[in-house]
Structure 1
Amino acid sequence: MSKTKVIYLVSGSRHTVPPNQKSPGVPRIIETLSANDTIAATYKVVSKYDCSLQFQDYNKGKYLHIKPTLWNRFFESLLSYTPQRFRKYVFGYTLVDRIVYYEGIRRLIKKDKPDIVITFMHFALFKKLCLAYPKAKHVYFFRSTDLKYRLGTDNIEFLVNNSSGFLANTKSPIIELQTLMSNCDFPKETIYNSIKLTDFTDKISSECSKCYRQSLGLTERDFIIGYAGRLSEEKSILELLEAILHLKNSGCIVHLLIAGSIANESTPNTAYYNEIMSFVKLNIRSQVHFLGWLPNQKLYKFYNALDIGVLLSKYSEGNSMFLLEALSMGKPVIATSIGGNLEIIIDEKNGFLIEIKEVTAQLVIKIEKIIKNKVQLKNMSENALNYIKQNHTNYVMVDKFNNFIKKL
Structure 2
Amino acid sequence: MNKTKVVYLVSGSRHTVPPNKNSPGVPRIIETLSINDTSSIRYKVISKYDESLRQKDYNHNKYLHINPTFWNRFFEKLLHYVPLKFKKRIFGYSLEDRIVYYEGIKRLIRKEKPDVVITFMHFELFKKLCKVYPKAKHIYFFRSTDLKLRLGKENIDFLLKNSSGFLANTKSPINELKSLTPKLKFPAETIYNSVNLSDFSDRISEDLSRQYRKQFNLLPNDFVIGYAGRLSEEKSLLELFEAIHYLKNKGLNVHLLIAGSLKIETTPNHHYYDEMINYAKEKLASQVHFLGWLPNEKLYEFYNALDIGVLLSKYSEGNSMFLLESLSMGTPMIVTRIGGNLEMITDGENGFLIEIEDVKKNLIQKLETIINNKQQLNTMSVNAINYIKQHHTNDIMVDKFNNFMRNFE
Displacement after TM superposition at 1:184 (Å): 2.1
Displacement after TM superposition at 1:77 (Å): 2.0
Superposition map of 1:332-347 within 5 A: 332-347=332-347
Superposition map of 1:73-92 within 5 A: 73-92=73-92
Partner of 1:229: 229
264-273 or 377-386: bigger deviation: 264-273
1:95 aligns to 2:95 (yes or no)? yes
Distance 1:298 1:77 in 2: 37
176-185 or 111-120: bigger deviation: 176-185
Distance 1:191 1:175 in 2: 14
Distance 2:183 2:347 in 1: 35
Per-residue displacement from partner, 1:210-239 (whole Å, max 9, x unpaired)? 100111111111010000011100000000
Partner of 2:8: 8
Displacement after TM superposition at 1:83 (Å): 1.2
Distance 1:159 1:102 in 2: 19
Partner of 1:378: 378
Displacement after TM superposition at 1:182 (Å): 2.4
Partner of 2:186: 186
Per-residue displacement from partner, 1:297-352 (whole Å, max 9, x unpaired)? 10000000000000000000000000000000000000000000000000000000
Task: Give the partner amino acid of 1:340.
Answer: G
Partner of 1:257: 257
Q: How many positions carry a matched residue from both structures?
A: 408
1:293 aligns to 2:293 (yes or no)? yes
Give me the CA root mean square deviation.
0.7
Per-residue displacement from partner, 1:347-403 (whole Å, max 9, x unpaired)? 000000000112111111111111111211110000000000000000000000000
Superposition map of 1:6-405 within 5 A: 6-405=6-405
Distance 1:143 1:287 in 2: 34
SS at match of 2:377: helix
Distance 2:282 2:96 in 1: 42
The percentage of counterpart residues that share the same residue type is: 69
TM-score, normalised on structure 1?
0.99
Unaligned runs of 5+ in 2: none
Distance 1:65 1:181 in 2: 36
Displacement after TM superposition at 1:284 (Å): 1.0
Displacement after TM superposition at 1:81 (Å): 1.7
SS at match of 2:357: helix
Displacement after TM superposition at 1:85 (Å): 1.1
Task: Give the partner amino acid of 2:117.
Answer: V
Distance 2:375 2:185 in 1: 48
Per-residue displacement from partner, 1:257-310 (whole Å, max 9, x unpaired)? 000112221111111111111111111110111111000010000000000000
TM-score, normalised on structure 2?
0.99
Distance 1:95 1:222 in 2: 46
Unaligned runs of 5+ in 1: none
Distance 1:167 1:223 in 2: 39
SS at match of 1:309: strand
Displacement after TM superposition at 1:198 (Å): 1.1
